[in-house]
Amino acid sequence: MTKYSVFSEDGESPDGERYVSYGIEIKTEDSVKLIHDVTSDRKRIYEFVSMLERYEASPIHILDLIEDFFYCSFA
């Protein structure tokens, strides 16, 4: 079983501006992986992780899911 959770950390932009960055922790039976600096939007990251949990998303596809959810426009 895979468990997803949100973590936060301080970030700094190339021009020196500080911000809070949110990432995803992925726990499986044999490992723990962290994906850093996914977004600075707290509401969206919790919405995304909730969807990962609800639909039991496979960690194999996590980078594609992040790209689709945060960076693609389906207009």
Q: Stretch 1-13: mean pLDDT, rounded?
A: 95
Q: Name the 3-class secondary structure at 24.
A: strand
CB 21 within 8 A of CB 9: yes
Domain region containing 42: 3-71
Supply the pTM of this predicted model.
0.89
Strand order across the 32-39 sheet = 3-12, 18-27, 32-39
DSSP string, 30-51: S-EEEEEEEES-HHHHHHHHHH
Q: Calculate what percentage of the chain has a pLDDT beyond 70.
A: 96
Residue range 45-75, pLDDT digits in tens: 999 999 999 999 999 999 999 999 998 865 4
Q: What whole-number distance in Å separates Cα of residue 31 and Cα of residue 73?
A: 32
In the chain, the number of structural domains is 1
